[in-house]
A and B are shown apart, each in its own frame.
Chain A
Amino acid sequence: MSSSIESLVNKEYQYGFVTDVESDTIAPGLTEDTVRLISSKKNEPEWLLEWRLKAFRRWQAMTEPHWSNLKYDPIDYQSQRYYSAPKSVTPLQSLDDVDPELLKTYDKLGISLSEQKFLAGVAVDAIFDSVSVGTTMKTELAAHGVIFCSFSEAVHNHPELIKKYLGSVVPYSDNFFAALNSAVFSDGSFCYVPKGVRCPIELSTYFRINAANTGQFERTLIVADEGAYVSYLEGCTAPKRDTHQLHAAVVELVALDNATVKYSTVQNWYAGDKEGKGGIYNFVTKRGKAHTNSKISWTQVETGSAITWKYPSVILQGDNSTGEFYSVAVVNNMQQADTGTKMIHIGKNSKSTIISKGISAGKGQNSYRGQVKMLPKAAGSRNYTQCDSMLIGNQCGAHTFPYIEVANNTSTTEHEASTSKIGEDQIFYCKQRGMNAEHAISLIVSGFCREVFKELPMEFALEAQQLLGITLEGSVG
């Protein structure tokens, strides 16, 4: 390994700093009282508390799933803190009132919340631990009738929409982590795009975990009414800590008739150090329901987290609905990822596309796990799946677990998967043209991931490419 590469390996996770703010953090432990406390802190209506409690009781009766290809120490749910909020944040504040310390944090993360420095054409909802710090460009969106705010705010201002759609795609009883989230979720983003409206700007949520020993349990709900269009981005970072932190989110997407929802994620939670110490345990349930002629598209770039357990799915409920899943998952050092998608075809002539690129380096273990299900009534449906894995170094692993279940004969499914080493001849060619090994690998990896990156909005595509470079630095010697 060359010395320059070595210095890069030891490069710090650049988002690993801690913001020193006074927080209102509740004691560790999880009981019915914790759920009540969170609900009261957020001043929630009775029906939401009831829903949380139902979820909590169901969660108590469930056991943590262990079918995934992940190995990790048991999680002690009683030692976690389930709520932490910077004291300076008061609900429904305007951006001008936000604690400068918090604004600085977001500036440092490259997300500017102050009005003059807005990323052109992107509205941001910034979530810090358990609460939303502020949402930008609200008035501009309101002019188009688009509701974009924190989840807590939506509970108070748009209870009818929350009541109608909360849990409609991921019911509280869906799985262990979804039930946990439903019981203790703190904040998240809510978005509603009215009939026929094409949301003029990209919406984005930036999640930041700051407090120690605190889990983040956000809940995002996006509803695109008939004929609407929305593109949504999600980014996440966390400080470097020696202990594992739990992140169990739920994202629900609803695309009503003729609507389109595009959801992009760049996940860069702290991944732990080279020995696997620390890092985020990321257990996420993401699912969308696509009605007639609608389209839901997931794009994810997963570079962070010690453990990733994530299967963004689409229920293709309506006829002619479309589901897409584009994913790049990178593991390095001791990282483990078990990720993929589910495409459940219910409607006639529904279509789904799955493109998954897995990159394993160091001692990382990367698994693609996917399900394509064609129900008897999903006549004329189509699926195309391609999952490719690239191995860098001889101590990593790449695994593929696709499930293809077809129950009618007018549908067509195609599945292709390949696993191979990064091309030595390609590296040689690049070097011979004057590039160093690092550059060559970065070029080859970008090419490998191109099909996915081109689905990302521009700002994100650049960020993702850079992230990928950083994650893989030093993986080839």
Chain B
Amino acid sequence: MTSATKATSDGYEQAFSALRSSGGPSWLPALRREAMDRFNALGFPTTRNEDWHFTSVTPIAERVFKIAPTRSGPATLSPADVATAAIGDPDWHRLVFVNGRFEASLSAFAGLPAEVRVTTLADALKETPEFVAEHLGKLAKSEGQTFTAFNTAFAQDGVVIHVPGGEVVEAPVHIVHIADVHAAGAGIHPRLLVVAEPLSQLTIVESFVCTGSPGAAYLTNAVAEIEVGNGARVNHYKIQRESTDAYHVGTTQVRQGRDSMYHSFAYASGAAISRTNIYTQLAGENAETRLNGLYLIDGTQHADHQTFVEHLAPACASRELYKGILDGSSHGVFNGKVYVDPIAQKTDGKQTNHALLLSDQARVDTKPQLEIFADDVKCTHGATVGRLDEAALFYMKSRGLGADGARALLTYAFAAEVLETIEVDQLREGLEALAFARFTHGEQR
């Protein structure tokens, strides 16, 4: 540990001590303490760490983000502000957090099936502590994961979703994290715990947005743990549109049972530095996972996506499609790993990663990896980096489109291929509209 990180470590240790008075079940302090010790021992990763080779977190590591929940004052935001900030629908079940604090007045999730439990983490710790104890920190382990340990030590609130066997939640559960003007300097550590029991169905939309500009950096360090039971189906959308001053680290850890389905879509257009980790374990036969994503960055933004699919059971399928569009002097990183265990015969894995460079200052580093220990498998990965096809541009121009129009249309089409896979109509249309506006009018984010 360097002296600079020693200072931040001391700062966090003080903040941690200050938090300890805040109630909760008896096992919680021990879990947090363990995570804190792990966080201290690991320190922030450096670029010497293979998993962080292309992403420097120095700006995050060199300061202490305020952990205490920042008060935004009484109801500075109206439901209309939420609707403007986050793509959603009034019919969805909605939980809104402002600077990490739950805002009951902006939330609405009463219309859920009676058996399905959706609560804040704070409430769940009071009402069903055994349930939380059984699942919290079981998938998202702190070992070797600084940011997960960091979250476990400091997570103040979040969402707990429990869908009992066979229950189908029709409308998406929308979790909106808003950073407002008071977020400057804050460290926000939201936690999401999802248990979808056998044969249940659930759609989750997580939005990370901002209203106005905090004018200074804040850190969002989110962790999600999702258990997908046998035959269950979970769709998970993570929409990251943070302030471009912000730092965002999001880790999603999934474990799937047999015949289950997990579809993830990660959209990222915000944050100065963002890192999205999606780790899924296919632990039961015939499970399917689909990881798609799109990132659109500009200026000096840095977006890093890391996926890790572990095939731990036979006959599972994984599909991955990630695309990036980079402008300005932005830097994109994609690191996708597929691991096939010796017992995971009949694995069918496919991973695709394409990056489009719109400016000559933009940079992409990509590292698609296959680690295969079983023989009866079919695994492929493909990666391309390039710019718009000159021939396609020429064709468009020959048909009467202007150069700018042709470029905008082709860029949009590049993004649309992956946006089309979004199954929630409002979300797909919302993101398509954003992408279209961005490329045709040069609008940001």
Contact = CB atoms under 8 A, between A and B. Distances in A.
Contacts of B374: 391, 394
A391 B375 contact: yes
B386 A418 contact: no
B365 A404 contact: yes
A19 to B, nearest CB: 40
A427 to B, nearest CB: 13
B372 A417 contact: no
A216 interface: no
Contacts of A429: none
Contact of A414 (B370, B371, B384): B384
B387 A410 contact: yes
B6 interface: no
B361 to A, nearest CB: 8
A374 to B, nearest CB: 8
B387 A417 contact: no
A323 interface: no
A405 interface: yes
A399 B50 CA distance: 16
Nearest to A371: B367
A138 B226 CA distance: 71
Contact of B384 (A399, A410, A412): A412
A413 B363 CA distance: 13
Contact of B386 (A402, A403, A413, A419): A413
A220 B354 CA distance: 39
A67 B357 CA distance: 31
A300 interface: no
Contacts, number: 116
B387 A409 contact: yes
Nearest to B365: A405
Interface in B375-390: 375-387
Interface in B110-152: none
A391 B372 contact: yes
Contact of B369 (A376, A400, A409, A412): A400
A398 interface: yes
A417 B384 CA distance: 12
A394 B345 CA distance: 9
B375 A392 contact: yes
Contacts of B367: 401-404
Contacts of A403: 365-367
Contacts of B362: 409
B370 A399 contact: yes
Interface in A381-420: 389, 391-420
B342 interface: yes
Nearest to A392: B375
Could you say which interface size class chain A belongs to?
A: 35 or more
B379 A420 contact: yes
A158 interface: no
Nearest to B363: A407
A163 interface: no
Nearest to B368: A402
A421 interface: yes
A410 B360 CA distance: 7
Nearest to A391: B375
Contact of A393 (B345, B360, B370, B375): B375
Given A393-B375, A397-B372, A416 B342 contact: no
B382 A417 contact: yes
Nearest to A396: B375
A417 B371 contact: no
A419 B379 contact: yes
A404 B372 contact: no
Nearest to B387: A409
B383 A404 contact: yes
Nearest to B374: A394
B353 to A, nearest CB: 9
Interface string B41-75: 00000000010001000000000000000000000
Given A413-B385, A414-B384, A399 B379 contact: no
Given A404-B366, A405-B365, A406-B357, A419 B377 contact: yes
A433 to B, nearest CB: 24
A369 to B, nearest CB: 10
B383 A402 contact: yes
A416 B382 contact: yes
A16 to B, nearest CB: 29
B359 interface: yes
B313 to A, nearest CB: 15
Nearest to A384: B384
A398 B342 contact: no
A401 B383 CA distance: 12
A415 B375 contact: no
B373 interface: yes
Given A416-B380, A420-B377, A400 B370 contact: yes
Interface in B336-368: 342, 345, 355, 357-360, 362-368
A422 to B, nearest CB: 8
A411 B376 CA distance: 36
Contacts of B355: 406
B297 to A, nearest CB: 14
B386 A391 contact: no
Contacts of A407: 363
Given A394-B376, A399-B370, A417-B381, A409 B365 contact: no
A371 to B, nearest CB: 10
A395 B372 CA distance: 10
Contacts of A398: 370, 372
Contact of A406 (B369, B375, B385): B385
A420 B384 CA distance: 22
A398 B339 CA distance: 10
Nearest to B345: A394
Given A394-B376, A421-B375, A400 B384 contact: no
Contact of B385 (A376, A395, A411): A411
Contacts of A400: 368-371, 381
Nearest to B389: A412
A121 B377 CA distance: 45
B321 to A, nearest CB: 15
For the complex of A and B, list the 4 residue pairs with the smallest distance between their C-beta atoms, beginning with the closest. Answer: A409-B357, A391-B375, A412-B386, A400-B370
18 contacts: A376-B360, A379-B360, A393-B375, A402-B367, A402-B383, A403-B365, A404-B385, A406-B355, A406-B363, A408-B357, A408-B360, A409-B358, A410-B387, A411-B385, A412-B385, A418-B381, A421-B376, A421-B377
Given A394-B375, A399-B371, A409-B386, 18 more contacts: A67-B50, A389-B372, A393-B375, A394-B374, A397-B371, A397-B372, A404-B367, A405-B363, A406-B364, A408-B357, A409-B358, A409-B360, A410-B387, A412-B385, A413-B385, A413-B386, A416-B381, A416-B382
